[in-house]
């Protein structure tokens, strides 16, 4: 452990906060008091727990209400889960929520506000060193959990309260920026899906200032088998690496890189087993593995437009297995669609590609801000950089 800055202290979490594991389940009983439950999903998916969330209706005993009611400056964490990486995820409670209880599979941390603020504790629990501590201490085989002694023993490094407030103000500004980026990314995602449906699924071309528009009734109906030839992917004969020249494509997308390619670009790859509803488009050469099909031949078909067509078809609806989703080549060949002229396909693909680029740029920006936040979190909350 590095030397602490002047005025900073370190203590186990059990000395800085009360830790209460919730046993309040989702069942409702006539002889109990109606309450609202903050459950695992609310904590796992949200950075803060506020009255804007839709809490579950349930009932609880008076003793449970006394022990598990959610108050201002509390921190809720996921106590157990099917994956050890999903435990210890925290959410902060900025204001008291009357009638809301901490639900099952969660633990409630109530810091001693004379020494530690809940907002600071919430940020501290996001440190990678803390996440690794929870991962290593998780107990279980098929379901993993954190015991109360493990939580109590967690070392917490903290500055004086006034400095905690300044640190939180800095980190909260970054959190707000990340939240805005996430909202923008979600909006662009819905815009992209809407454009695909409007200009592929509805059968109308984008005018783009050219003044023409082709109606659905003016397009020729075809089977996909008339417009393309699918080939089976193959196992990659050389090791798949995190970095390399040619992408290796599985049913869910790029899974790594290799030094060889199976098909020259542009490439459209469809999942054969597993993720069958998510086609992949690549401009460069790639290696589709044996859980996929790749398009070997295009007949009067723009590859990028075909990718958007497959996105609009909801290929999951053509699943032919009861277990792992499966898609047969003959099924794909018999899917009927409206075939526009090739020049129109290229025009639509260009418009939709622009939407994809905006979405990708937003994602890069979000990831950059998340990396900055992780760096700030590590340096500020461990006292390695002074305010």
Ordered strands of the 17-21 beta sheet: 17-21, 106-111, 75-78, 90-92
Report how far residue 363's alpha carbon sits from residue 116's, in angstroms, rounded to the nearest whole number: 35
Q: Facing residues of 298 across strands?
A: 228
Cα 8 off chain centre by: 35
H or E stretch including 90? strand 90-92
In total, the chain counts a number of residues equal to: 387
Task: Name which of 26, 33, 20, 34 is nearest 71 in CA terms.
Answer: 20
What does 196-220 look like in DSSP terms, one character per residue?
Answer: HIIIIIS-----TTS-----GGGSE
Q: What is the chain's pLDDT, residue by residue, as a tens digit (387 residues)?
A: 457 888 899 999 999 999 999 888 888 888 899 999 999 999 999 999 999 999 999 999 999 999 999 999 999 999 999 998 999 999 999 999 999 999 989 999 999 999 999 999 999 999 999 999 999 999 988 889 999 999 999 999 999 999 999 999 999 888 899 989 999 999 998 888 888 888 786 444 443 444 334 444 456 888 999 999 999 999 998 889 988 899 999 998 999 999 999 999 899 999 999 889 999 999 999 999 999 999 999 999 999 999 999 988 889 889 888 888 999 999 999 999 989 999 999 999 999 999 999 999 999 999 999 899 888 888 888 877 766
pLDDT at position 217, please? Answer: 46
Q: Facing residues of 108 across strands?
A: 20, 76
Burial 170-203 (b: 16+ CB within 10 A, else e): ebeebbeebeebeeebeebeeebeebbeebbbeb
Count CB-CB contacts under 10 A for residue 16: 20
Task: Name which of 21, 281, 46 is nearest 151 in CA terms.
Answer: 21
Are the CB atoms for 226 and 382 separated by under 8 Å?
no
| CATH fold for the domain made of 9-158 | Adenine-n6-DNA-methyltransferase TaqI; Chain A, domain 2 (3.90.220)
CATH topology match: 9-158 vs 188-357: yes
The whole-model pTM stands at 0.71
- The token duo for 63 is 């003793």
Q: What is the CATH number that goes with domain 188-357?
A: 3.90.220.20
pLDDT at position 201, please? Answer: 63
Domain coordinates in residue numbering, the chain? 9-158, 188-357
Residue 363, burial from CB neighbour count under 10 angstroms (0-12, 13-18, 19+): middle
What does 131-183 look like in DSSP terms, one character per residue?
Answer: HHHHHHH-B-SSSEE--HHHHHH-EEEE--HHHHHHHHHHHHHHHHHHHHHHH
pLDDT at position 268, please? Answer: 95
pLDDT at position 205, please? Answer: 40
Helix (H, G, I), strand (E, B) or coil at 375: helix
Cα–Cα distances in angstroms (integers) from residue 86 to residues 139, 312, 352, in the given order: 13, 33, 35
């Amino acid at each position: 452990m590095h030397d602490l800055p002047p005025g900073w202290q370190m203590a186990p979490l059990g000395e800085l906060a009360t830790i209460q594991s919730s046993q309040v389940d989702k069942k409702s009983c006539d002889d109990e008091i109606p309450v609202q439950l903050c459950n695992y999903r609310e904590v796992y998916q949200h950075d803060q727990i506020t009255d804007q969330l839709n809490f579950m209706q349930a009932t609880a005993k008076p003793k449970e209400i006394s022990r598990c009611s959610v108050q201002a400056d509390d921190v809720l964490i996921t106590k157990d889960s099917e994956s050890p990486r999903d435990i210890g995820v925290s959410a902060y409670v900025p204001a008291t929520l009357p009638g809301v209880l901490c639900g099952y599979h969660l633990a409630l941390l109530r810091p001693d506000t004379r020494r530690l603020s809940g907002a600071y504790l919430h940020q501290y629990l996001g440190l990678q060193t803390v996440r690794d501590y929870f991962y290593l201490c998780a107990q279980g085989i098929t379901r993993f959990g954190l015991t109360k002694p493990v939580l109590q023993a967690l070392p917490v490094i903290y500055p004086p309260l006034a400095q905690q407030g300044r640190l939180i103000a800095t980190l909260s500004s970054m959190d707000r920026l990340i939240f805005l980026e996430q909202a923008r990314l979600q909006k662009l995602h819905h815009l992209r899906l809407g454009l695909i449906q409007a200009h592929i699924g509805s059968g109308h071309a984008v005018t783009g200032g050219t003044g023409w528009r082709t109606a659905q009734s003016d397009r020729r109906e075809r089977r996909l088998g008339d417009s393309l030839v699918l080939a089976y992917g193959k196992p990659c004969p050389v090791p798949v690496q995190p970095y390399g020249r040619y992408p290796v494509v599985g049913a869910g997308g790029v899974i790594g890189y290799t030094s060889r390619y199976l098909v020259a670009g542009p490439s459209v790859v469809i999942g054969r087993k597993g993720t069958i509803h998510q086609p992949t488009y690549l401009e460069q050469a790639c290696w589709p593995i044996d859980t996929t099909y790749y398009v070997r031949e295009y007949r009067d078909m723009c590859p990028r437009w075909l990718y958007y067509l497959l996105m609009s078809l909801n290929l999951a609806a053509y699943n032919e297995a009861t277990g792992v989703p499966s898609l047969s080549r003959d099924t794909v060949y018999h899917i009927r669609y409206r075939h526009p002229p090739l020049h129109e396909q290229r025009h639509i693909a260009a418009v939709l590609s622009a939407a994809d680029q905006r979405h990708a740029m937003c994602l890069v920006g979000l990831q950059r801000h998340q990396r900055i936040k992780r760096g700030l979190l590590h340096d500020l909350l461990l006292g390695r950089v002074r305010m």
